[in-house]
Structure 1
Amino acid sequence: MFPPSVPSVAASAVPAGAHIVDVREDDEWAAGHVEGALHIPLADVPVRLGEIPADADVYVICRSGGRSSRAVAWLSQNGVDAMNVDGGMGAWADAGRPMVSETGAEPFVR
């Protein structure tokens, strides 16, 4: 299911100000996401590669880690220093890391 040997990091260890790419779908993003993250649904990653920083570490997140793991494998093969956020947004929320929503409601992980 997950690509082998994908670099990963705990949600609690993602540094403040890190470049975060959220590969979830639009409704998941709207419900709650990391403020300042770049939203690129997984299927769009190849065509939007140019939007992802090539000169910095990139932390990729989804709901639980599956889609982001696939994105990290692909990004790594295409020259991006990418790391999977273990446990995804669920782990991010559990770690008490800040989130925002697009709806104005209290953010949550969908």
Structure 2
Amino acid sequence: MSEMQDYKSSLSDVNSRKFETFSYLPEMDADRIRKQVEYIVSKGWNPAVEHTEPENATSNFWYMWKLPMFGETDVDVILAEAEACHKAHPNNHVKLIGFDNFAQSKGAEMVVYRGKPV
């Protein structure tokens, strides 16, 4: 069995925290984020945007940015909402979610903008 890498992450170091699977990969560029949004749309999931302060990112409760975008299929509109949230809250983490209304759960969730600790 190969050696497993330990990802240094702690509550005291907000920059080290991991949030979901994508956090362990290199940061996604705009093209990769677009592909994830296209996937969410292709699955028929409802996109939503949430945000929170870096120090509260481990909480289950993030602030909702507007309402979920029920039935939205325009990738540019979805990306524009994530960017608008980031511009309104530049120090907050912003995540994009794809709600699967059939399974009644999140089908996708990823941080698309990392805020800076104050």
TM-score by length of 1: 0.28
Structure of greater Rg: 2
Higher strand fraction (1 or 2): 2
TM-score by length of 2: 0.27
